[in-house]
Structure 1
Amino acid sequence: MNLEQTHELRRWWDLAVAPVQAEGLRLAIELGVLDALVEPAGAAALAQRLQLHPVGTAHLLELLWSMGVLERQGHGRHDGDADAAGPVGKDAQGGGAADADGIYRLDAGARAYLTQGAELSCAKAWLFRLRSMRGFVDSLGEHVRHGPGVPKPPLSADHGPSGGAAQWAAAARVQIAQEQRAVTAPAAVEVMRRLPEFQQAQRLLDLGGGPGLVAIALAQQRSQLQGVVFDFPETVAVAAENILARGLGPRLSTRGGSLATDDIGSDHDLVWCSSVLHFVPDIEAALHKILAALRPGGVLVAVHAELPREQGEACSVVPWYLPLRMLGRHVTHEGELAAAMARAGFVRIEQFASGQFPMAVQQVVVARRDVP
């Protein structure tokens, strides 16, 4: 069967069906379907185990299989389908006796990232992203018709990226921790390995470090590295727990505050700053403050999404970062962050793109404080 589709409408029809796929994955995570399929099973057995309807379960599994979340052995028909070959099972609603729909197992990527017990699980992080994006979808029409609402206050413990201080700390404990563990920390290690300064660095500042897993990963790479995780006080309490749990208390510490208003220390060799500058009230003021916190020759590594010039590159960045722009946050155009660093006094500025992030390609800007 030739299923190649070349119709010009395909790209827009795919957008219409995407919510079906997202809802299917949400159900599979929240109902425990993916966790249950760590061991292969058919729809009838799985439905019985999870107390679900066998035909509805079979339809969900087939949807997930079509999305590449599951692998399947067998033909994929199941009792209860009106067009299924052969007689319908004895249950008029589709509760057939045998697993005629095939045996399903998790795809390797789903097993690694979407099951709750996996070391690199991002299941809760993905659900968090889905809920957040759906909320913004509901307000997009109002934004287009009437423009932005009341501007969000500057970044503070009461107005963090996810709301109040307690809410932001809770996200750091679960969703942000999942993303840092699976995505940001490995990416940070890869970026730092490219920098010759990392091998001599003694003092690290993980700026807006959340649960501190980036600082922990970098400290584990270099036994001589010491560091500070800076974030809201409620959030760095989570980082402090993680640091102690990994036995890094003698080398890593925390400092609570706001980048906009509080001291971030001084004489740092390295500053890691990922997705923080979107939220500050004034990017250039923040960059001046970071520059002053570096020792001469020190390095800032800033990882943020920027709006690409090319349409093909913009297709993944613009939708993800439209909500921030709707809230009045900063999302710079490509090259603007590096230019702001130059105006702030940074030298030897380099920029490259990283595709190691699941939302969108991020721009990595490496900038240095001059040596007198």
Structure 2
Amino acid sequence: MTSEELGKERLTEAKPPLEDQSRRLWDLVAGFETGQIFLTAFELGVFNLLKEPKTAKQISEELETHPKATEKLLDVLVSIGTLNRIDGLYLTAPNMAPFLIEGELYFARYLKFGLESREKLLNLKAALKEGPKVEGEKHKHQYDRVSIDWIARGTMLGRLQATLKLVRDLPEFKSARKLIDLGGGHGLFGIGFAQENPHLEVVIFDQPGVAEIASDYIERYGAGERVKAMSGDYTKDDIGSGYDIAFEACSFGGNADQARSFYENVARSLNDGGLFISQTFTIDDDRRSPLRNLIWDLKEQISNDGHMHLKTNSEIFRMLREAGLEGEKVIDMSQDLSMPMRLVVARKRA
């Protein structure tokens, strides 16, 4: 555009030369900043200290932190909804307290993994330059009664109900007579399936020690007539046979060799035409989403800790096919859950 043409242009009517992406870019930066502030507060124990109302000065003295900076941090936490502030007193928000105060029944233990993730990502540049660790720190999950009860309470916040409804509505479920819940833990999925199908016999299969806890849940729900607990290693031990449905909910996180062994064991246990239903985390074949799973996959790559080996839908279908199971569909549960989980449905070939 010439100087003469620019001189005639009304700036109020000027068409932007391209769409401004500044807000999107600032949102990306702000997401990191907000996460850092929240995790720092969690790490310091701010939410525990604010189980009862206190002033910023009191919190600063207890934490031995800078008074003015502490007050500004608390104000950010109010803005993001994790704290309330009334008449100068700060308090962990009542709707968040069950998740943020240590010792509460629904305390978000997984946020401690968030602290680990923060360290990984703060060192991302070095990890990209140097490559994955040769041998990462292996996660050792604790599955005692306290942990299983905590998992059960979290499952009851919506994941259990949404999963039961989806499986219940599959045509094959109505005619099923025998189902195994692999890595069933507390057993609530298996118990729920038995409640939805009065002709269904269910086996809750998990490692020794956990199966005994499942038996207590079975007794608590009065389901002992048709639901039983069984212990072992489902990747290699005999899990029984004649099942119409094998179900697994986020209990398997092994590598490719372990997955092959697991899927083959599942296939052997199913009747011809039987279903294998796995609730898990997958990545779309175009590797564009879900974002949280892609980030998780990146963290696993750079840390090499073997916590969870994410696969694309097609990669999982290929591994299932090699074990004698034909992948049929992937049901996205993201809208119903806090995490982008899917139900992978496969069928044993006749």
TM-score (norm 2): 0.73
Structure 2 counterpart of 1:357, from 337, 341, 350 = 337
Shift of 1:264: 1.3
SS in 2 for 1:349: strand
Identity %: 22
The answer to whether structure 1 residue 106 and structure 2 residue 93 are counterparts is: yes
Shift of 1:136: 4.9
Structure 2 counterpart of 1:300, from 276, 279, 282 = 276
The answer to whether structure 1 residue 150 and structure 2 residue 135 are counterparts is: yes
Partners of 1:312 and 1:66 in 2: how far apart?
A: 31
2:305 alignment partner AA: L
Partners of 2:134 and 2:285 in 1: how far apart?
A: 27
Partners of 1:220 and 1:111 in 2: how far apart?
A: 33
Residues 103, 287 of structure 1: alpha-carbon distance in 2 compared, 3 angstrom cutoff: closer
Partners of 1:291 and 1:46 in 2: how far apart?
A: 62
Answer 1 or 2: higher relative contact order, Cα 8 Å, separation at least 6: 2
2:264 alignment partner AA: H
Deviations 1:214-261 (A, max 9, x none): 223333333443322222212223322322333323332222222222
Aligned length, in residue pairs: 321
Larger radius of gyration: 2
The answer to whether structure 1 residue 21 and structure 2 residue 38 are counterparts is: yes
2:157 alignment partner AA: A
Is residue 320–residue 327 contact of structure 2 (8 Å, CA) maintained in 1? no
Deviations 1:99-158 (A, max 9, x none): 3x37868365x367556798xx53243334335535655886568625332378xxxxxx
Structure 2 counterpart of 1:31, from 25, 48, 60 = 48
2:250 alignment partner AA: S
The answer to whether structure 1 residue 334 and structure 2 residue 326 are counterparts is: no
Shift of 1:209: 1.7
SS in 2 for 1:233: coil
The alignment's C-alpha RMSD in Å is 3.9
1:24 alignment partner AA: A
Partners of 1:243 and 1:29 in 2: how far apart?
A: 39
- In the other structure, the counterpart of 2:107 is 123
Deviations 1:294-316 (A, max 9, x none): 12332111122122345652421
Deviations 1:252-280 (A, max 9, x none): 22222222221111111221112344315
Residues 258, 24 of structure 1: alpha-carbon distance in 2 compared, 3 angstrom cutoff: same
Residues 151, 72 of structure 1: alpha-carbon distance in 2 compared, 3 angstrom cutoff: closer
Partners of 1:223 and 1:176 in 2: how far apart?
A: 26
Is residue 47–residue 100 contact of structure 2 (8 Å, CA) maintained in 1? no
TM-score (norm 1): 0.70
Partners of 1:150 and 1:362 in 2: how far apart?
A: 28
Is residue 56–residue 90 contact of structure 2 (8 Å, CA) maintained in 1? no
Structure 2 counterpart of 1:287, from 249, 260, 263 = 263
Partners of 1:336 and 1:204 in 2: how far apart?
A: 26
SS in 2 for 1:133: helix
Which blocks of at least 5 consecutive residues in structure 2 are unaligned?
Answer: 1-21
The answer to whether structure 1 residue 274 and structure 2 residue 249 are counterparts is: yes
Deviations 1:82-107 (A, max 9, x none): xxxxxxxxxxxxxxxxx3x3786836
